[in-house]
Amino acid sequence: MSKIFVYDTTLRDGAQSEEIEFSVEDKIAIAHLLDQKVDFIEGGYPAHTNAKDLEFYRRMKKQPLRHATLVAFGSTRRAKYTVRQDPSLQSLLDTGAPAVAIVGKTWDLHVRDVLHISLEENLKIIRESVAYLKSKKRQVLFDAEHFFDAYALNQDYAEKVLLAAAGSGADWLVLCDTNGGTLPAELGKIIQAVKKLVPTPLGIHAHNDSEMAVANSLAGVDAGAAMVQGTINGYGERCGNANLCSLLPTLQLKMGKACLRGQDLKQLTTLARTVSEIANVPPRDFSAYVGYNAFAHKGGLHVDAVRKNPVSYEHVPPESVGNERRIIISEQSGVASVLFKAAQMGIKLEPGSEAARAIIERIKVLEHAGYKFEGADASFRLLLERHLQKHKPFFELQGFRVSVEKREDKLISEATIKVSVNGVSIHTAAEGDGPVNALDSALRKALEPHYPALKKMHLVDYKVRVLDSKAGTEAKVRVFIESQDGKQTWGTVGLSPNIIEASWEALVDAIEFKLHSDRGWKQ
Question: Do residues 20 and 236 make contact, with C-beta atoms less than 8 angstroms apart?
Answer: no
Q: From CA 236, how far away is CA 19, in angstroms rounded?
A: 9
DSSP string computed for 474-523: G--EEEEEEEE-SS-EEEEEEEESSHHHHHHHHHHHHHHHHHHHHTTT--
Q: Residue 35 class from Cβ within 10 Å (0-12 exposed, 13-18 middle, 19+ buried)?
A: middle
**Hey, how many other C-beta atoms are within 10 angstroms of the C-beta on 387?**
14
pLDDT of residue 331: 53
Q: How many CA atoms lie within 13 A of 276 on its CB side?
A: 19
Contacts of 469 (CB under 8 A, 6+ apart): 475
Side chain identity at residue 518, one-letter code: D
DSSP 315: S
Q: From CA 383, how far away is CA 71, in angstroms rounded?
A: 53
Residue 172, SS3? strand
- How do residues 1-15 score in pLDDT, each as one tens digit? 689 999 999 999 999
Q: From CA 333, how far away is CA 301, in angstroms rounded?
A: 8
307-322 b/e with 16+ CB inside 10 Å = b?
A: beeeeeebebebeebb
Strands (DSSP E) contained in 380-506 are 396-407, 410-421, 424-432, 458-466, 477-484, 489-496
Residue 8, SS3? strand
Residue 416, strand partner residues: 401, 429
Question: Do residues 402 and 442 make contact, with C-beta atoms less than 8 angstroms apart?
Answer: no
Q: From CA 39, how far away is CA 227, in angstroms rounded?
A: 10
Using CA atoms, how far residue 214 sits from 43, 58, 108, 233, 349, in Å, is 22, 33, 27, 11, 43
Side chain identity at residue 148, one-letter code: F
Mean pLDDT in consecutive groups of 10 residues from the start of the chain, 523 residues: 92 94 94 94 88 94 94 95 95 97 96 93 97 98 97 97 98 97 97 97 98 98 98 96 97 92 82 89 89 77 72 86 76 63 78 78 83 83 86 91 85 92 93 90 94 90 78 76 87 92 94 89 59
Using CA atoms, how far residue 113 sits from 105, 107, 400, in Å, is 11, 10, 71
Q: From CA 101, how far away is CA 105, in angstroms rounded?
A: 13
pLDDT of residue 523: 47
pLDDT of residue 282: 81
* Beta strands at 410-421 and 424-432: parallel, antiparallel or unpaired: antiparallel
* Beta strands at 396-407 and 458-466: parallel, antiparallel or unpaired: unpaired
Residue 420, SS3? strand
- How do residues 164-205 score in pLDDT, each as one tens digit? 999 999 999 999 999 999 999 999 999 999 999 999 999 999
Q: From CA 270, how far away is CA 315, in angstroms rounded?
A: 20
This model's pTM is above 0.75: no
DSSP 78: P
Question: Do residues 453 and 515 make contact, with C-beta atoms less than 8 angstroms apart?
Answer: yes
Radius of gyration of the chain (CA): 29
Q: Which domains does the chain have, with CATH numbers?
A: 2-279 (3.20.20.70), 296-369 (no CATH), 370-385+458-523 (3.30.160.340), 395-450 (3.30.160.270)
Contacts 24+ apart (CB under 8 A), 58-62: 59/24, 59/28, 60/28, 60/31, 61/96
Distance separating the N- and C-terminal Cα atoms of the chain: 52
Question: Do residues 436 and 507 make contact, with C-beta atoms less than 8 angstroms apart?
Answer: yes
pLDDT of residue 303: 64
